[in-house]
Amino acid sequence: MATGIKSKQGKHSLRYGLKAVVVALALLVLSCGNDDDSAAGPALEISEPSMSTSDSPASDSGGIPEAPQDAPAGAPEDAGDRVRGVPTEGEAADEDESAAAVDLSGPAIDEMADEEMPAEEPEAAAMDSAPDSGRTQSASPQPVEQAASETAFPRRPCLRCEPNNFQDYGVNPFIDPWDDPLSTFALDVDTASYAVARNFLDSGQLPPIEAVRTEEFVNYFDGGYEALRDEFTVTLEAAPSPFAEPDLVLLRVGIQAPRELSQSASPDSIVLVMDRSGSMDEPTGYGAESMRRITLAHRAVELLISGLPRQTRVGVVAYESRSATVLEPMELDGNAKWIMDRIRAEVTPGGSTNAEAGLIRGYDMALDEADAGRQVLVLLLSDGVANVGATRTDEILESIGERADIALSTIGVGLGPFNDELMEQLANQADGTYHYIDTPSEAVRVFVDDLDGLLAYAARDAKVQVEFDPDVVHSYRLLGYENRDIEDESFRDDSQDAGELGIGHSSTALYELELSSRTRDERSTIATARMRYERPATGTIVELVTHLPRSAVERSFESASPHFRLAAVAAEFAEILRASPYAPSRISRELQHQADAVADDLHRDADAAELASLIDTARRLLR
């Protein structure tokens, strides 16, 4: 191509060369564009590829900063074996051969741009169709420009330009209770999926179908349940669905953990495992809350430390290509400022991502604390993009082992790239919870408003079994929880791994029911819900039982409680975004109306109002 541009064939050759380069540029853009190229529509927007610093050494990756002068006695003198890594050859994204053959530098390109390209191009919305649904997804918006500072990103990042890893667990079908009257699943209080989807929608893009988990949309919102001291509550509520056939009923199963425990199991030690790879230098958030991922991680840790009891011991491990001990565990009392100073100095981005090495070192530190008789929580803060060492959940968990006195919770940070599947499954399988932060506001929600629930568990291995009477229920369908399914016969197997609920946490499950015409006896039982869990402080097994008679079904959706309606709106929204075959492919006027109505009934609660706004955004994107 470069030879053609510089030949003596004159202006026509120049124009042909330009066309070839533009085609090559388009191919290069497509190589990092939408993740479903095969479904792309006929119109494509050609934009300049995004600039990414993922997994590349940071410019400030010099020597190890010295410890502050006021370091406490007995503190380590340096950060141990910290080594900055560099990307391997296999980490670079593959480029199309035709694009790689083009010389894209030098004055020739500038000259062609001046001659052939218009001064300004209006933005076009390229769409690609979601598989098996009538909806369309907006293509990536314009990529990130180089920011003048780490808190100013005037253009929205292309969340699809670099790979995000999500797992599609399918959609639960309707089940005939004559075939299977029992629905059994592990409880879940994770909220990451909603925050991830909000990040996509705020950027003007629909989230990938596989990124949407209905139960995490529902559990993001307050269930409005009554909380008792030392005891869980199980609440059943039902009302006709406004989003389906007239005889379809929504059933809400609500579990509320106590907000006060006389015997709590708060951690004595917290081990922070912090990702400092090159991808943590990427931006997250928008507008006034835009910043680098690593900066957001620092702020989140600062919020955490400020809310912990002063006697809590905190240790810090960081990783990129390799792992290193930043701080051996020490009490916060008198050391909090020095700990944060050390984190800011040592946990800076650069290198590849060896999550396995970071977790192994973090667990070794946690084991030392646990062997000294302490309860330990390991907190992983990362974008989850593991590309060195073991990269699969089962491989990493096999490397670190499992201990009942050590829990692992994960905090996802940033998108594009982001490995949602790894972060969710690590927490699910290691007795922890999974959350996602994209802004300082969300960090406050997780590390301030919900701190007690993050740190102290009220229930371990909590599971629910709902039994439907086949004489009353013709069919039922659980909305979400597809990857939390448990065999019915394992409900009373107390060795079965299930879900963890923190102090004050609530967990909600929604069912769609088609009631049977066999009986209309108002005294008949529609469903019996059982919750079984272990009390962490004592190891005692508790089972709770609640029944829902047919007479308890509300006469209309509007007569149900506001929090019931909020959960129903959130679930319907998620089902549409995930292209469920049981949901429409577009946002209906009814869904928007119900979202606005429940926000008004809750006096424009910030979360409910935000949900209504996101539904409006998605409605415009799904047109």
Indicate the pLDDT class of residue 521, thresholds 50, 70 and 90. confident
- How much is the average pLDDT of 427-454? 91
**pLDDT mean across residues, the chain:** 77
Residue 129 pLDDT greater than 80, yes or no:
no
Q: Is 28 within 8 Å of 49 (Cβ atoms)?
A: yes
- Entry field: residues in the chain: 623
Residue carrying the six token digits 């741009």: 113
- How much is the average pLDDT of 585-614? 96
Compare 591 and 109 and report the one with higher pLDDT. 591
Phi, psi of 497 (to 5 degrees): -65, 135
The three-class DSSP label of residue 535 is coil
The three-class DSSP label of residue 318 is strand
Other Cβ atoms closer than 10 A to 62: 10
Q: Is 339 within 8 Å of 305 (Cβ atoms)?
A: yes
What are the pLDDT digits (tens) for 4-40? 333 333 433 434 344 444 334 444 433 444 444 333 3
The three-class DSSP label of residue 435 is strand
At 262 the pLDDT is 83
CATH architecture of 182-262+457-621: Sandwich (2.60)
Of 545, 473, 481, the residue nearest 508 (C-alpha): 481
Phi, psi of 374 (to 5 degrees): -105, 145
- How much is the average pLDDT of 242-248? 84
DSSP category for residue 120: -
Specify whether domain 269-455 bears CATH 2.60.120.200.
no
Which range is most confident: 24-33, 101-110, 131-140, 233-242? 233-242
CA dihedral 475, 480, 481, 487 (to 10 degrees): 20
Q: Is 478 within 8 Å of 464 (Cβ atoms)?
A: no
